[in-house]
Amino acid sequence: MQDETTAPSHDTPPTADTPPIADGPETAPGGFAGLGLRTELLKSLASLGYEEPTPIQRKAIPRLLEGRDLLGQAATGTGKTAAFALPALQKIDPEARVEPTILVIVPTRELAVQVSEAMFKYGRELRVRVVPVFGGQPIQRQLRSLDRGAHVVVATPGRAIDHIKRGSLKLDAVRTVVLDEADEMLDMGFTEDIEAILENTPADRQTVLFSATMPSRITAIARRYQNDPVRIQIGAAETSEADAKVRQSVYMVSRHHKASALGRILDIESPQAALVFCRTRVEVDSLTETMNARGYRAEALHGGMDQRQRDRVMGRLRDGSAELLVATDVAARGLDVDTLTHVVNYDVPAAPESYVHRIGRVGRAGRTGVAITLAEPRERRLLRNIERLTRQKITIEKIPSVADLRARQIDQTVEAVREALTAEDLDDYNPVLHALAGDDNLRNVALAAIKLLHESGRGEIDETEIPDAMEKDRADRKKRDRGDRKPHGRGQDRKRTSGPRGRNSGRGGGPDRRERSSSGRSGTGYLYVSLGRKGGVRPADLVGAVANESGLSGREIGPIRILDYYSVVGVPEDQVERVIGAMRNTTVKGRQARVRRYEE
């Protein structure tokens, strides 16, 4: 594997299989015309307002035009869609038979739609036909689209497998395969599906793999399915430049005060549109109701909604009729909304890579953005993990006080009045002024009008001060330090850590760790799920269901064992009861699933 970048990877240390990153050539400046793209593509880019390629485009496009396989590491929002789409479209012959020559695999239906729209726009002058295929949409409609012919198919892994089995997606003529956001797909349990798709494509295909992070599982896929790929990673200088466009901050707050703290912070920030990430759909629904009660136009988005509901919610966010989208990680993957200015982590994500994906929703295409995280003191270790991954310090801010909020609202009123003073239709309101002039002096009339404007905001101010969780935590620790400590008996802690943790590691009905994970975690508990192989359940279905309902990341789920009539799923022991509660009304493969603790 040949590497081409300007900074060492911070995810995977160099090994014999992952050679150290070396400096590579840069394409000379000169816009997209200097990259060797055909005239039709340049014309489309010009009509879209594209002027200069981003760093990942400048590095990747020339190599892909050479026909090289590519392993690219770039965060969301760096322009990687154009980086793989333009070279792939370059090879299309508009006069040839219309059949799939480009296959793009993405983790979610939202991303499938976005990539499809982008490739259609780029290939407009070439009369390129693009068909997205994903779950949640009637398959008959997709069958008709594929039957009419397509140059490009953008698919989620599960639906791609369905079409391959039906014979409706023929891959014999595919020349380029792209795996976009590959780390997300692996986290969601799609490894087997991805491998099956690649096995069904021609051996001489060009394979392009893009990922925001580069864990060892990604390099393993690259070693197996790519041919001497060139590796491109955005360098340290370029990464810091992109990060500078997103202001990142953390507020320490106890769980009891989180909703109030979120409202107070958003009142101060006044986002044009914000995306709030929650762990579970129950939390999404609850927080959405709370924020609507505070006067925000909030919408929920989670896996319990059908495609029509999801489309309606996204339409409201895009047209400005909603200003706050509260969503689970799984539901929000792949979202690209131009109006988003703020991303909020209602909880600190357990996987640092999830943080990278989340904040990538803002600061895109040169725009600035804000990333806010609400953390409890016990989550400081997770914050340190994020800082190590991003190599950037996250500022800890104090929760705004009631006085801060009052001052901010005065500033907003001043800004609103100043803007109104520039309006061209002020004379239309002269009759109102003349009608009031006899009642009082003009100064008092102006003050009364300003008062009405000021009070027409979000209602009354919550006068409750929100305590700083860090200060409370420090005070509690000092109190404990001053108190008498009871002596612990010898071996007491050792006894506490033993017990059922190793119960399933030997013989019996416990999960076979070879099913999904080569080694289980210490402190793993197991769930019984009432659907199995006879119901068509696959590991990816179980991972997706657990992740969507509980907010756990894909790497926290497993091992998995699927039997004929039920399945056993491993999750962190301290999360078992919470996951069971979150999955009370879950469906898997369209069927109701009963979930309880697994006992041998």
Residue 521, pLDDT score = 46
Residue 3, pLDDT score = 52
Q: Quick check: 69 pLDDT over 70?
A: yes
Q: What is the CATH number of the domain that holds 317?
A: 3.40.50.300
Q: Quick check: 340 pLDDT over 90?
A: no
| 3-state secondary structure at position 34 | helix
Is 104 in the same domain as 76?
Answer: yes
In a domain, 340, yes or no: yes
Q: pLDDT confidence of 122, banded at 50, 70, 90?
A: very high
The model's pLDDT over 208-261, given as tens digits with 9 standing for 90+, comes to 998 877 778 888 888 999 999 999 886 444 444 444 578 899 999 988 889 989
In a domain, 362, yes or no: yes
Is 18 in the same domain as 166?
Answer: yes
Is 152 in the same domain as 249?
Answer: no
Is 382 in the same domain as 253?
Answer: yes
Number of domains in the chain: 3
Is 118 in the same domain as 55?
Answer: yes
Q: What is the CATH number of the domain that holds 569?
A: 3.30.70.330
Is 227 in the same domain as 339?
Answer: no
In a domain, 419, yes or no: no
The model's pLDDT over 468-518, given as tens digits with 9 standing for 90+, comes to 776 655 655 555 555 545 444 444 443 333 333 333 333 334 444 334 433
Residue where a domain terminates, one of 239, 272, 289: 239
In 360-461, alpha helices (H): 380-390, 402-421, 430-437, 442-455
Is 292 in the same domain as 321?
Answer: yes
Return the minimum-mean-pLDDT range out of 337-346, 348-357, 519-528, 577-586.
519-528
Q: pLDDT confidence of 165, banded at 50, 70, 90?
A: very high
Instruction: Give the mean pLDDT of 293-309.
Output: 83
Residue 142, pLDDT score = 92
The C-alpha angle with vertex 349 and arms to 219 and 231, in degrees rounded to 5, equals 20
Is 162 in the same domain as 308?
Answer: no
Q: pLDDT confidence of 371, banded at 50, 70, 90?
A: very high
Is 255 in the same domain as 358?
Answer: yes
Is 228 in the same domain as 260?
Answer: no
State if pTM tops 0.85.
no
Report the relative pairing of strands 587-588 and 591-592 from DSSP bridges: antiparallel
The residues, any chain, with a CB within 8 Å of residue 540's CB and separated by 6 or more, are 157, 158, 188, 189, 190, 192, 193
In a domain, 473, yes or no: no
Return the minimum-mean-pLDDT range out of 7-11, 48-52, 536-540, 572-576.
7-11
Domain interval for residue 564? 507-597
Q: pLDDT confidence of 460, banded at 50, 70, 90?
A: low
- % of the chain residues with pLDDT over 90: 27
Report the relative pairing of strands 206-211 and 70-73 from DSSP bridges: parallel
Is 87 in the same domain as 232?
Answer: yes
In a domain, 430, yes or no: no
Residue where a domain terminates, one of 215, 239, 263: 239
In a domain, 412, yes or no: no
Residue 54, pLDDT score = 82
Structure letter (DSSP) for residue 363: S
Q: What are phi and psi of 210, to 5 degrees?
A: -120, 140
Residue where a domain terminates, one of 217, 239, 261: 239
Is 544 in the same domain as 559?
Answer: yes
* Cβ 369 vs Cβ 340: under 8 Å: yes
**Gap between the Cα atoms of 507 and 523, Å rounded:** 18
* Cβ 85 vs Cβ 222: under 8 Å: no
Return the minimum-mean-pLDDT range out of 171-175, 338-342, 353-357.
353-357
